[in-house]
């Protein structure tokens, strides 16, 4: 006897082959028309057509014929835990003040660092819960959370401990990344190497307390060079962490090439990736995590060369880059629209980029981002007729219901029209 049987319209089943989908594979997406998924004890027990499900018994049957059903979405790049906000910077952006100039003037990341240092751990936790609840209502069931707004031992650990607590208490599964190398704090101005050594000195404690699986660095003009980033990430790899990099976000420094060279799990942003960087992505296991929401929000015209990357054979994932400065949104569905309009990705590539490939980008490809018998039942029912509809109809939330580990965690309340 199943606990829940969902009778849907189309069911999206991204291919799960043990690694991220790349190149032409990204355009493959299995769809079951008039599909059904059965859940028992939090796990997927049946995937097939409604016809095949006809003889199954279930305590509860959700009759959602005509609605799309998919795996829970995965958001592989967020700066979830932070204090304060940066709406005051919008006026500067409107006046055309570049992101890196705001940062150099002590704003940007530094503004959030000040607010995060001043925010108590409990308050950071409550704020994180608020944002996670919103992510869940948008269909995200697994996501990454970076530190990086402390830039000192005490606050970096505070952020990571908050993320650990959130992972233990909120339905969304969180994967933590240490981004202590996010910017150079005032007290280390002009001494980047010394600051990086200070951040590296935290790795043993972070590892001992299980506070992060990945280490990341902001490789950018006025922050950390490609060489500094390479040395830092290689030391993090030696210490047993997976490594990621904010690369070629604004200036094309060549972080993409370096990421492929050292075997980073992912290289993120890549707006300025060179032809050589694109070629190397096609030949490496490094996943390109693209963040078109950031490019949009920074008012840039040039977006990451996703089509070239996919043509080169690379694996691409998508993310909100949720953070208070360069991409203040939890709406991964809007990112799907930007991927269609600005990255020229197909609906099939987009769906693979917010599910299976996003899961592999944060080391969760074996448990999230696809539908398989025996896997935990992380599912989203959408108020849309087919899988092409979400990128097409933008700026709204299409979620009808979300199940996490087979439990209904978001359900469209009955709308009492009168
Ligand atoms: O501005 C921020 O808070 C987040 C960010 N880090 C690197 N690029 C953007
Ligand atoms: Zn970021």
pLDDT at 324 (0 to 100): 98
Q: Is 147 in the pocket of ligand 1 (CB under 6 A)?
A: no
Looking at residue 410, what is its pLDDT?
96
Mean pLDDT over 177-181 rounds to 99
In sequence order, the 6+-apart residues with CB closer than 8 A to the CB of 208 are none
Tell me the pLDDT band of 238, cut-offs 50, 70 and 90. Answer: very high
Ligand 1 proximity of 45 Cβ (cutoff 6 Å)? no
- Band (pLDDT 50/70/90 cuts) for residue 155 is very high
Q: Please identify every residue whose CB atom is under 5 Å from ligand 2, which is an ion.
A: 321
Nearest one of 272, 266, 230 to 251, comparing CA atoms: 272
pLDDT at 373: 98
Residue whose CA lies nearest to ligand 1 atom number 7: 218
Distances (CA, A) of 323 to 128, 281, 318: 12, 26, 15
Q: Which of 362, 355, 113 is nearest to 216 (CA)?
A: 362
Question: What is the pLDDT of the chain when averaged over all its residues?
Answer: 97
Query: Mean pLDDT across the stretch 80-102?
Result: 96
Would you state the structure tokens that stand for residue 381, as one six-digit string? 């029912």
Q: For residue range 310-347, what is the model confidence (pLDDT) as tens digits?
A: 999 999 999 999 999 999 999 999 999 999 999 999 99
Please report, rounded to a whole number, the percentage of residues in the chain having pLDDT higher than 70. Answer: 98
Residue 305: pLDDT band (50, 70, 90) is: very high
State the alpha helices, DSSP H only, in 105-210: 109-118, 121-137, 153-169, 192-200, 203-208
Length of the chain in terms of residues written:
418
Question: 183: pLDDT confidence band, cut at 50, 70 and 90?
Answer: very high
pLDDT-derived band at 132, boundaries 50, 70, 90: very high
What pLDDT, in 10s, does the model give residues 14-43? 999 999 999 999 999 999 999 999 999 999
CB atoms within 10 A of CB 208: 8
CA-CA distance, 69 to 304, in Å (whole number)?
29
Contact 81, 128 (CB under 8 A): yes
Query: How far is it, in rounded angstroms, from Cα 72 to Cα 141?
Result: 5
What angle separates helix 255-262 from helix 275-283, to the nearest 10 degrees? 20
d(Cα 209, Cα 165) in Å, to the nearest integer? 12
Instruction: Look at residue 249 in the predicted model and tell me its pLDDT.
Output: 97
> What's residue 416's pLDDT?
52
Query: What is the pLDDT, as a whole number, of residue 418?
Result: 53
Q: Which residues pair with 39 in a beta bridge?
A: 4, 44
Q: Please state, in angstroms and rounded to a whole number, the distance separating the CA atoms of residues 174 and 392.
A: 29
Ligand 1 in contact with 77 (CB < 6 A)? no
- The pLDDT, as a whole number, for residue 412 is 67
* Residue 38 to residue 3: CA distance in whole angstroms: 8
Do the Cβ atoms of 225 and 219 come closer than 8 Å? yes
pLDDT at 63: 96
Average pLDDT over residues 110-126: 98
What percentage of residues in the chain have a pLDDT greater than 90? 98
Number of neighbours of residue 201 by Cβ within 10 angstroms: 11
pTM of the full predicted structure?
0.98
What is the C-alpha R_g of the chain? Answer: 21
Q: Identify the band that residue 417 occupies on the pLDDT scale cut at 50, 70 and 90.
A: low
The neighbouring-strand residues paired with 174 are 143
Nearest CA to ligand 1 atom 5: 326
Q: Are 100 and 221 contacting, i.e. CB atoms less than 8 angstroms apart?
A: yes
Q: Is 325 in the pocket of ligand 1 (CB under 6 A)?
A: yes
Position 413 pLDDT exceeds 90 = no
Ligand 1 atom closest to 82 (CA) = 3
Residue 389 token pair: 């509809």
Q: Is the pLDDT of residue 123 over 90?
A: yes
CA geometry: angle 244, 336, 69, nearest 5 deg: 105
Q: Phi/psi class of residue 110: alpha, beta or left (left: φ > 0; alpha: ψ in -120 to 50)?
A: alpha
Whether 326 lines ligand 1, by a CB cut-off of 6 Å, is yes
The residue among 23 and 418 whose pLDDT is bigger is 23
For residue 327 and ligand 1, the question of a CB distance below 6 A is answered with no
In whole angstroms, give the CA distance from residue 264 to residue 360.
12
- The minimum-distance atom of ligand 1 relative to the CA of 220 is 7
The tens digit of pLDDT for each residue in 184-197 reads 999 999 999 999 99
Neighbours of 95 (CB within 10 A): 7
The pLDDT score that the predictor gives to residue 220 is: 97
Determine the distance separating the centroid of ligand 1 and the alpha carbon of 219, expressed in angstroms.
Answer: 11
Which of 103, 151, 145 shows the shortest CA–CA distance to 124? 145
Q: Is 327 helix (H, G, I), strand (E, B) or coil?
A: strand
The residue whose CA is least distant from atom 8 of ligand 1 is 326
Contact call for residues 402 and 137 (beta carbons, < 8 A): yes
Q: How far is the CA of 138 from the centre of ligand 1 (A)?
A: 22
pLDDT in tens, 59-72: 999 999 999 999 99
CA 361 to chain centre: 8
> Rounded distance, CA 69 to CA 12, Å?
6
Q: Could you give the C-alpha distances from 54 to 36, 51, 58, 61, in angstroms and in order?
A: 10, 5, 10, 11
Inter-residue contact 404 to 385 (CB < 8 Å) = no
Residue 75 pLDDT:
99
Distance of CA 161 to the CA centre of its chain: 19
pLDDT mean over 243-254: 97
């Amino acid at each position: 006897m199943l606990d829940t049987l969902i009778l849907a319209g189309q069911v999206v089943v991204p291919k799960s082959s043990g690694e991220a989908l790349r190149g032409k594979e990204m355009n493959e997406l299995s769809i079951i028309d008039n599909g059904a998924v059965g859940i028992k004890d939090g796990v997927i027990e049946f995937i097939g057509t409604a016809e095949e499900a006809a003889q199954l018994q279930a305590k509860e049957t959700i009759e959602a014929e005509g609605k799309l059903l998919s795996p829970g979405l995965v958001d592989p790049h967020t700066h979830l835990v932070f204090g304060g906000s940066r709406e005051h910077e919008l006026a500067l952006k409107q006046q055309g003040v570049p992101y890196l100039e705001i940062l150099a003037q002590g704003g940007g990341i530094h503004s959030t660092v000040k607010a995060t240092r001043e925010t108590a751990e409990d308050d950071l936790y409550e704020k994180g819960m608020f944002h996670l609840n919103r992510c869940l209502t948008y269909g995200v069931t697994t996501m990454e959370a970076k530190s990086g707004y402390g830039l000192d031992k005490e606050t970096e650990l505070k952020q990571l401990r908050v993320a650990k607590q959130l992972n233990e208490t909120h339905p969304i599964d969180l994967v933590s990344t240490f981004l202590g190398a996010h910017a150079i704090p005032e007290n280390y101005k002009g001494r980047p190497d010394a600051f990086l050594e200070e951040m590296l000195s935290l790795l043993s404690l972070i590892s001992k307390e299980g506070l992060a699986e990945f280490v990341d660095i902001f490789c950018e003009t006025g922050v950390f060079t490609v060489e500094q980033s390479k040395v830092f990430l290689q030391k993090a790899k030696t210490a047993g962490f997976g490594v990621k990099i904010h690369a070629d976000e604004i200036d094309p420094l060549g972080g993409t090439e370096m990421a492929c060279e050292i075997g980073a799990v992912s290289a993120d942003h890549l707006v300025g990736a060179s032809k050589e960087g694109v070629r190397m992505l096609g030949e490496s296991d490094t996943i390109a995590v693209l963040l078109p929401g950031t490019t949009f929000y920074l008012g840039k015209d040039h977006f990451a060369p996703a089509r070239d990357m996919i043509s080169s054979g690379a694996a691409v994932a998508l993310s909100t880059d949720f953070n208070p400065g360069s991409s203040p949104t939890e709406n991964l569905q809007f990112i799907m629209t930007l991927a269609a309009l600005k990255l020229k990705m197909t609906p099939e590539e987009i769906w693979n980029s917010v599910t299976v490939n996003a899961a592999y980008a944060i080391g969760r490809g074996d448990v999230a981002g696809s539908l398989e018998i025996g896997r935990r039942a992380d599912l989203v029912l959408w108020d849309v007729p087919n899988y092409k509809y979400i990128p097409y109809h933008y700026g709204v939330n299409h979620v009808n219901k979300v199940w996490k580990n087979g439990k209904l965690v978001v359900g469209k309340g009955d709308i009492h029209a009168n």
